[in-house]
Amino acid sequence: MQLIDIGVNLTHPSLARDVRALLERAHAAGVCQLVLTGTNLEDSEKALLAAEQLDESGLRLFSTAGVHPHEASDWNSDCERQLRVLLGEARVRAVGECGLDFNRDFSPRPQQEKALEEQLALAAELGKPVFLHERDADERLLAIVREFRDRLPAAVVHCFTGEKRALYGYLDLDLHIGITGWICDERRGIHLHDLVRAIPRGRLMLESDAPYLLPRSLRPKPRHGHNEPAFLTEVLREVALHRGESQEELARHTTACARAFFGLPAID
């Protein structure tokens, strides 16, 4: 059984201290490929470098490159130029993490929207899929992405935590959906139990978002308290339970979906 973790913050200090052992544990758990998330230009460069240095085969580690809405205040024409260069690298498979966050509003909303629009334009020009972030902003995100959708090869709303209205809006735009350990959280993720049934095969992918979102249902819990890709099996278990699928079946179609979305090579 193979799994692909489409969202790993591998450059985070809590993971980088023992990264080779972390990757060995992921491989032992069946997580055969990982997409490392870039959240700003410096982090995107680090993610690419990590993928190159830690994967001599060129088959297992890939990355994204983009500017997160929290960092949108720093977006300018020079950022666009640097991002374009990064997106030309073979291992960089998607634009992002980009999007809108009206929950924390670390950057002014007009600047978030401008940074998103310009990254979507770049993705459309380069023919790259998009790795999207959204918190409390589904209506604006839908309105903006809709203007670009016909020119984008694909886009995934990563770490989906929203309500039915948002999910159906994204599915109507033919977007993909990423599910994390949020679904394992009995305090705030129970609404996802019903919603994951509505996501068609070919549009659903799994992700850890490590080191964040340690599945609360995981037993035993790690002493360090951080999430890691090896724990994607707990997300698989929970999603399979609520979709009424076997874990093997869910792993098969979500892995095929992620491989097609990011253009990843097959692994024997």
Binding-site sequence positions: 97, 133, 158, 209
Which residue from 241, 180, 252 is spatially nearest to 216, judged by alpha carbons? 180
In the prediction, which pLDDT does 91 show? Answer: 98
Scan for tokens 């913050």, then name that residue.
9
In the prediction, which pLDDT does 27 show? Answer: 97
In the prediction, which pLDDT does 159 show? Answer: 98
Binding-site sequence positions for a divalent metal cation: 97, 133, 158, 209
CA 57 centroid distance within chain:
22
In the prediction, which pLDDT does 209 show? Answer: 98
Q: Under 8 Å CB-to-CB from 260, ≥6 apart: which residues? A: none
Q: For residue 144, what are its two tokens?
A: 């903006």
Judge whether 268 lies within some domain: no
**pLDDT per residue rounded down to tens, the chain (268 residues):** 999 999 999 999 999 788 999 999 999 999 999 999 999 999 999 999 999 999 989 999 999 999 999 999 999 999 999 999 999 999 999 999 999 999 999 999 999 999 999 999 999 999 999 999 999 999 999 999 999 999 999 999 999 999 999 999 999 999 999 999 999 999 999 999 999 999 999 999 999 999 999 999 999 999 888 999 999 999 999 999 999 999 999 999 999 999 999 999 999 8
Judge whether 108 lies within some domain: yes
Phi, psi of 204, deg, nearest 5: -110, 130
Which CATH number covers residue 236? 3.20.20.140
The domain of 236 spans: 3-262
In the prediction, which pLDDT does 16 show? Answer: 79
Assess contact for 42 and 243: CB atoms under 8 A.
no
DSSP state of 32: E
Q: For residue 13, what are its two tokens?
A: 């200090």
As for how many domains the chain has, the answer is 1
Judge whether 68 lies within some domain: yes
Judge whether 267 lies within some domain: no
